[in-house]
Amino acid sequence: MVLRMVALIWLVAALSPSQASQENNRPSPTGTSYLSCTVWNGHGWTQPTARSVRTSLMQSVKGMRAYAEVKVVIEGGSCENTTTLHVATAIPGEINTVYTKTGYGNGIRLVGWSPDGDKLLAEVNSWEYETDRGWGHVGLIYDVSSDSAKEIPGLDEALSRHFGADCEFERSIQAWRGNEQILVKVTKSPPNETYEQHFCVESPVIFLFNLRTTTLQGFARNH
C-alpha cells in the first residue's frame, strides 16, 4: 500500500507543466480550458470579443486522432461559449463531432488517450461570466467502441460516499492509470461569501478511480 501511494504521488507530480497550468487557469483570452470573451484586467472587465481556439491534434497508439475546439460569440452583449470534441477513428478518415456543450462559460481540457488507445479522457469546465460562482468540472470519456462521449458515471457518487454529503470540494481529472483507472485530484474549494461553505479537504488528495467498478482505491496526500 505504501508503494502504491508513493507511485500515485510520483505520477501526479510528473504531469506536464502545461497540463498543470491549464488546470489552474481562470477565464482568459487563450486556451480551451477557460476561453473567455471578456477578462478581468485588475480594474474591470475588458470589452467582449469573439474568439475561437482549438487544441493540438492528439493521436492514440492506434492512430486515432482527436482535437477540441471552443468558440465564443457575443449575443446581446453577453458571451456564449460552444465547446466541441472531434474524433477520427479511421486512418485516413473524416473527423466527426462527438460531443457539444453550449451555454455561457464552458471549455475543455484534453487529458489523453488510454494506453490501449480505445478511450479518450477529457475534462469539461463551466462557470458564470463576470462572477466568482458557478465553477464546475465534469470528467468526459470518448469510447471508440460506441463512438460516443459521455460523462464519467459514478465518480461524484463515489466521492460523496467517501467525504459525506455535507462537504464542498473541487475535483480535477489528472491522468490514466492503466486502461480502466484514472487519477483524480480533490482540492479545497475557493472561498465564496454568497453562502455558508462546509469544507472537509484542506490539502490536495489523490484518488484512484476504477471506471468499471465506479469505486475509489486508496488515496495519497501532497505536502
pLDDT tens digits for 5-41? 334 333 433 333 333 333 445 677 789 999 999 887 8
* Percent above pLDDT 70 for the chain: 81
- pLDDT category at 60 given cuts 50, 70, 90 is very high
pLDDT digits (tens, 9 = 90+) for 105-115: 999 999 999 99
| Residue of higher predicted confidence among 67 and 42 | 67
C-beta of residue 127 within 8 angstroms of C-beta of residue 187: no
Q: Is 100 exposed, middle or buried (0-12, 13-18, 19+ CB in 10 A)?
A: exposed
| Mean pLDDT, the chain, integer | 82
Terminal-to-terminal C-alpha distance of the chain: 18
pLDDT digits (tens, 9 = 90+) for 153-209: 899 899 888 888 788 888 899 999 999 999 999 888 777 777 677 788 888 889 999
As for how many domains the chain has, the answer is: 1
74 pLDDT higher than 90:
yes
Query: Which domain does 73 fall in, by range?
Result: 2-221
Quote the strand ranges of 60-169, DSSP E.
Answer: 65-75, 78-88, 96-103, 105-113, 119-127, 136-143, 148-151
66 pLDDT higher than 70:
yes
Per 3-state DSSP, the chain is made up of helix, strand and coil in percentages (nearest 5) of 15, 45, 45
Q: Which pTM value belongs to this model?
A: 0.81
